[in-house]
Structure 1
Amino acid sequence: MTPDRLLEIWRGLGEEPPSPTGMQRVRLDTDSAIDVFACIFWPSRRPGILIEGAGEQRPTGGRIPSCRGVRTVHEVVAMPEQRTILRIVLEDDRLLAIFAVLSADLIGTAIAQPTASGALKRCIDRLCMWQGLFERVPAEGLSEESQRGLLGELLVLETLLLERLDPLIAVKAWVGPDPAHQDFIHLGTAIEVKTSLAKRHTRIVIANEKQLDERPHDALVLAHLRMDESAGLGQSLPMVIARLRQTLSGDPAAALEFDDRLMLGGYLDVHSPLYTSNRWRLSSSHYYRVEGEFPRLTEANLPTGVGDIHYSIIADDLGQHEITFEQAAALLEINHV
């Protein structure tokens, strides 16, 4: 079930006369262990989905996660046997496109499970992921700066990790979308990726005192990618994602993990038309080993009582700490103990 197909179904249901039952619905799969419906809920004429199955399934802590602009209702009823019902209803029309992606994801999750209890549990877990995503992703998609930052991470994934590691291991090393303090962690090596527009005296913005703290790791590398805006010759975020999906197509587990992490990072395919005109050309990439006298603020050198900081360092002043691409790659391949 695709988001576009769901939008089409909701449109058709919304054109029908209001139902006395309070909803118009269409069953979406007849073979799955759970009942899944696309619905229009009356009298508000709101689109949504209905997922229900035999047995009792309750969320951890007793509460269903809520998403901005989306109402979720969880019920366990006896009819005459216990049955769990999930209703997920859109309440903010501005989020319709994102809601269609959420709904398609939940539907795919539900029908893939062999049992009703497993399907309900996975849907509830999946809603927890979407709760954070709805808070982070604006209805109009990622900003240019966020697109450029994500593009930089993907280029490092493509050129540094996927060239040397098993695809699934490489994708799982991409922990930035979780989010973590660094963008990649593999064995004892962490890599933080910073992307900026190419110009002299480029400042690299550091988000907090943990981002360049090497103490939790055996090795910490700062990757700095400089990009030029390019109307024709550069690459857009959707172009790089399409290329990576093709690379991962032979490993279904890695491909699925990649798509999940893209969503956690705020990228939704429904927004891709908004990103195609933004293109950048990689003008240079530099790798630095963060250790010793590398200029940075960490918890270890902050005055007592100071925290929650962000600061910048000058890229052109980091020459003595630079390592080669091959040295950065070698750090990934070391079996740290």
Structure 2
Amino acid sequence: MSSDPWSELGSVTQRLIGQRVAAEHPLDIYWVKAADGAPGLLFRGVDPARVPYRLPKPRGLSLEVEEGQDGFEARMFLREPDDRDVFLTLCNDVIAWSGNEKSRSTASASVFRRLSHWHSLMTRARTSAMPPHEVRGLIGELYVLERLIARRSFGAALTSWVAPDDHPQDFAFDTRIIEVKTRVAGARQHVQISSLEQLDSAHLPLSLVVIELVLSDAGDAISLNGLCDRLASTAMDCGVAEEDALHAALLRRGYIRQEAYDVDAYNVAGIMAFDVLAGFPRLTRTDVDARIPQVQYVLDATHLGAFGTDIEAVLGGRISKGD
């Protein structure tokens, strides 16, 4: 696809001008421009039975569904010109996500479900691939999520993953907080702490889990896309609600499927867990002068042995009664 498909449409001389999207899809899809020049996307062949009673309302977009000459069609247009790159990311994501369906009916449902995941995320969405260290960080979180799913229900495990909601740490239970860090095996055993809040939990025990990854081309190595696909398959077996919740959480966490995330595959070479107790080396908000708003620092894991704990005990923390 073009980096900006709307630039190829030329000037608008009528109510709508468009060009068909060059991708296989159960629906007929067109890049379009409105009479006022707003970029948009048109889906034709929409199953009216799959149109939700209340249409999704992603921030900065207009979305409408009506009957056209060739059946029902859905049109969405960007109303915030500064979000053009994010809108293109959204369009490509919705096309790809719904394109795996086998029929117009299921593809129609997927379009609206995916748009609902994008609700209010227009200004937060990532338009470029994560750098390698962020990819490894997300792989570490999802590795822990998989292990939690194996111990409890899918929904309860996913609820405990609070990183997508900008929580200072990655997982939260009623009895424990977990912060996950990922490092490359073989490198210096340094662990990057990115804020004063990350190792600070005033009310609950806090554990630091360090996962070592190694690049590998072995058959059991997995990429970020592969790990997300595996989780999606597990969610699908649980039900539509769980599948939607997972994809919404991944989107909030900044993951949108990209080919770049297939390039590197990893194996977990090791995993360590530490209890952040009194005497644990850390910087917290109460320890640092209020005139210093932000701090990043590095821990040397080779000197944390006194705080080591069993990873199974950490992951076995009880989910709160409401989950």
Who is 2:287 aligned against? 301
Who is 2:266 aligned against? 280
Who is 1:192 aligned against? 179
Counterpart residue type for residue 301 of structure 1: D
Measured in 1, the distance between the counterparts of 2:191 and 2:86 equals 34
CA pair 169-93 structure 1, distance change in 2 beyond 3 A: closer
Residues 141 and 170, structure 2, Cα contact 8 Å, conserved in 1: yes
CA pair 306-258 structure 1, distance change in 2 beyond 3 A: same
Residues 173 and 320, structure 2, Cα contact 8 Å, conserved in 1: no
Residues 191 and 220, structure 1, Cα contact 8 Å, conserved in 2: yes
Per the TM alignment, residue 132 of structure 1 is displaced from its structure 2 partner at its CA by 1.3
1:130 is paired with a residue whose SS is: coil
Who is 1:310 aligned against? 296
Measured in 2, the distance between the counterparts of 1:163 and 1:74 equals 39
Per the TM alignment, residue 224 of structure 1 is displaced from its structure 2 partner at its CA by 0.2
Counterpart residue type for residue 228 of structure 1: V
What CA RMSD, in Å, does the superposition of the two structures yield over aligned residues?
Answer: 4.1
2:288 is paired with a residue whose SS is: coil
Does the alignment pair 1:20 with 2:10? Answer: no
TM-score (normalised: structure 1): 0.69
Per the TM alignment, residue 268 of structure 1 is displaced from its structure 2 partner at its CA by 1.3
Structure 1 residues without counterparts, runs of 5 or longer: 27-36, 67-71, 76-84, 113-121
Measured in 2, the distance between the counterparts of 1:39 and 1:185 equals 42
Measured in 2, the distance between the counterparts of 1:228 and 1:104 equals 30
Matches within 5 A, 1:6-17: none
Who is 2:40 aligned against? 47
Matches within 5 A, 1:89-128: 92=84, 96-101=88-93, 108=109, 126-128=118-120
Who is 2:201 aligned against? 214
Counterpart residue type for residue 130 of structure 2: L
Measured in 2, the distance between the counterparts of 1:149 and 1:111 equals 30
Measured in 2, the distance between the counterparts of 1:261 and 1:268 equals 11
Structure 2 residues without counterparts, runs of 5 or longer: 21-28, 44-50, 65-74, 99-107
Who is 1:30 aligned against? none
Counterpart residue type for residue 257 of structure 1: A
Who is 1:261 aligned against? 249
Q: Which of 149, 160, 164 does residue 177 from structure 1 map onto? A: 164
Size of the aligned set, in residue pairs, is: 280
Measured in 1, the distance between the counterparts of 2:238 and 2:246 equals 11
TM-score (normalised: structure 2): 0.71
Measured in 1, the distance between the counterparts of 2:77 and 2:144 equals 40
1:254 is paired with a residue whose SS is: helix
